[in-house]
Amino acid sequence: MIEDNAEAVSYGLPLAQANAAAAGGVRRVGWLFIALYGMAYTGLWMALLPPILMGLAMRVRELAPAHATGSLSLVVGVGALMALLGNPLFGRLSDRTTSRLGMRRPWLIVGALGGAVGLAIIATAASVAQLLLGWCVTQLAYNAELAALAAILADQVPAPQRGTVSGIVGISLPVGMIGGTYLVQALANSTLAIFLAPAGLALAAAFVLTWALPDRRLAATQSWRYGWRELLGGYWINPLRFPDFAWTWGSRFLLFAGIAVLLTYQGFYLIHQLGCAPAEVPHRIFLSTLVQSSAVAIFSAAGGGWSDAVGRRKVFVSGAALVYALAMLVIAFATTYPWFLAGMAITGAAQGVYLAVDGALVTEVLPERETHAAGNLGVFNIANVMPQSLMPAIAPGILLASGDSYTVLFAVAAILVALSAWAILPVRGVR
């Protein structure tokens, strides 16, 4: 295990900042640490995303074939609520953890172990109720791990390097999604292996990062009271007191509103606008996901590095959002599947740059970064999760008013994403 810097933790400082103070400069994190950090993120996404994409649907069809659609909506919807509530909560708990292991290590371990338990419950469930229980455990546990992982970027990585590291982290999502989906297909004959093989990889990656992490330690005297008022207050940050964070949160929310529309209604769009046969839709969505994910991976790494090199964040975030909005218009007015694929490739490139640089930007406008990093990043994560529930509730009204026009629906999504580009401009604390 990499030894903790005792002087750094006695002052509650991240190791990178403590070394910088001692050396009079900025101590950059090494590529080994970055690789292990990215592997932990990749493992988490490999375990968490395949159930959403196909695993839960497979199990629901086995357990309740007559009510599969409604049962799946119930399981996914309640799971999303657990994610929404769990991430800020576990972030706050991580910020006040006084364990001898450090502030983040316990939650990396507990989250990875709990996620494996939840996936095991899903794999062996004999009813939809048990399936729901397993998915709730899975979402809560992996969001505990996710809160700790997000805080490590603010804790350990110096500001001039955060764009690059955030870009590497951005690659983890498409890699995890494709890798996890491949495992599900390869192990399709074993329900237990479909869920537990990705969980095992996620657990191994979390333990390796835990071993290598120079974690902060919080003395018992540095902790603070955490009652009901603090619990409820942990789900919001005063926008008048911290306007830069509020604008950044709003920009991310608007971008993910557009992403939610694209992901949720892609299948119906292919059938009703492009005239695809329903039997062709799964294969065409796989191809579009592969194209988009490849673009996300390439441009996430490149975008973060570019941002670090020029020392600017806002122009990359705003520009990427505008490109995503234009790509949504390309998709909205597409008349052929290749045209649609071109739009998906552009959305992937824009999403890669946006998430890499915005991930670095938010750590630089994060309120109370030294004491509440994980909890406040949990509040920021609400901007990622909330649109996934909100937009599917709003979109049917747009479709009804427009005569079931997916061109109109996707054009509205493009407008929301364009507003995301505008929302980042008032941020003053970052160039």
Question: In the prediction, which pLDDT does 121 show?
Answer: 96
Query: What's the CA dihedral at 247, 250, 252, 253 to 10 degrees?
Result: 170
Which residues, including other chains, have CB under 8 Å from residue 128's CB and lie 6 or more apart? Answer: 60, 63, 64, 71, 74, 75
Question: In the prediction, which pLDDT does 16 show?
Answer: 40
Question: In the prediction, which pLDDT does 392 show?
Answer: 72
For the chain, which residues score pLDDT lower than 50? 1-25
60-111 pLDDT per residue, tens: 888 888 877 678 778 877 888 888 888 888 888 888 887 888 889 999 999 9
Domain residue extents for the chain: 28-220+227-233, 243-423
Which whole-number Å values give the CA distances from 165 to 5, 327, 357, in the listed order? Answer: 22, 26, 10
CATH level 3 topology of 28-220+227-233: Growth Hormone; Chain: A; (1.20.1250)
**Pairwise CA distance, residues 368 & 362, whole Å:** 12
CATH level 3 topology of 243-423: Growth Hormone; Chain: A; (1.20.1250)
Q: Supply φ then ψ for residue 339, to 5 degrees.
A: -60, -45
**Pairwise CA distance, residues 315 & 80, whole Å:** 32
**Pairwise CA distance, residues 318 & 316, whole Å:** 6
Evaluate whether 28-220+227-233 and 243-423 have a shared fold: yes
Residue in 139, 142, 118, 141 with CA at minimum distance from that of residue 130: 118
Q: Which residue has the tokens 């507990």?
A: 110
Percent over 90 (pLDDT), the chain: 37
Question: In the prediction, which pLDDT does 265 show?
Answer: 81
Question: In the prediction, which pLDDT does 50 show?
Answer: 76
Give first-to-last CA distance, the chain, whole Å.
37
Question: In the prediction, which pLDDT does 335 show?
Answer: 92
Question: In the prediction, which pLDDT does 329 show?
Answer: 97
Question: In the prediction, which pLDDT does 3 show?
Answer: 38
161-215 pLDDT per residue, tens: 888 888 888 788 888 877 877 787 678 788 888 899 999 999 999 999 999 888 7
Residue in 379, 95, 366, 85 with CA at minimum distance from that of residue 226: 95
**Pairwise CA distance, residues 96 & 219, whole Å:** 9
Q: What is the pTM of this model?
A: 0.71
